[in-house]
């Protein structure tokens, strides 16, 4: 057993919001880890831009970018057309490029709750390897228009726990 880790690479936005979001995310991840048998702990770690953490093959990195114009996905040749067309979308995951990102300028008043929820949501996309099909039949943080003011539901935690051990290769150096 070991730890499941979500790294959040800071590339723009309010740093204090991200620090608070990391604290919230840690509590969310503990509930997920409690639902499965592969990991005995979890962590959420803030990573400074210019720093490249060493990722295990089960870890996830989510980039917090200032706005969609600073998209890591777009810079790496992916498309963010869906988010460009809908300014209510807080983040995107490119399953082919294995990149997750959240847009700081779309958060309501730099809300750490909204940010931590959006990170959780993008982690669920990449770990499940599902695009918008992931939203079908989901509630809480995993719907197509989530309200991040609460906490992930038991169903959200069970869903994420069920895919948490999936291996993937993500690039932490963008």
What digits encode the pLDDT tens for the residues 118-129? Answer: 999 999 999 999
Per-residue confidence in pLDDT tens, the chain, 174 aa: 799 999 999 999 889 999 999 999 999 999 999 999 999 999 999 999 999 999 999 999 999 999 999 999 999 999 999 999 999 999 999 999 999 999 999 999 989 999 999 999 999 999 999 999 999 999 999 999 898 988 999 999 999 999 999 999 999 999
Tens-place pLDDT, residues 79-122: 999 999 999 999 999 999 999 999 999 999 989 999 999 999 99
Question: Which CATH fold would you assign to the domain 2-161?
Answer: Collagenase (Catalytic Domain) (3.40.390)
pTM above 0.85, yes or no: yes
In angstroms, rounded to a whole number, what is the distance separating the alpha carbons of residues 134 and 119?
Answer: 15
Inter-residue contact 146 to 117 (CB < 8 Å): yes
Listed by start position, the domains of the chain span 2-161
Query: What is the phi/psi pair of residue 3, to 5°?
Result: -110, 140
């Amino acid at each position: 057993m070991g730890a499941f880790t979500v790294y959040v690479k800071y590339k723009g936005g309010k740093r204090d919001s991200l620090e608070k979001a990391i604290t919230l995310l840690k509590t969310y991840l503990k509930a997920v880890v409690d639902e499965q048998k592969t990991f005995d702990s979890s962590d959420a770690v803030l990573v400074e831009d210019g720093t490249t953490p060493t990722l295990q093959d089960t870890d996830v990195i989510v980039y917090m970018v200032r706005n969609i114009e600073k998209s890591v996905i777009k810079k790496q040749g992916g498309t963010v057309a869906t988010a460009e067309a809908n300014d209510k979308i807080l983040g995107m995951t490119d399953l082919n490029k294995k990149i997750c990102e959240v847009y700081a300028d779309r958060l309501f008043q730099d809300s750490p709750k909204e940010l931590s929820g959006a990170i959780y949501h993008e982690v669920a996309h990449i770990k499940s390897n599902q695009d918008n099909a992931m939203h079908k039949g989901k509630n809480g943080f995993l719907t197509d228009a989530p309200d991040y003011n609460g906490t992930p539901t038991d169903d959200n935690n069970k869903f994420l726990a069920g895919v948490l051990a999936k291996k993937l290769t993500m690039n932490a150096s963008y």
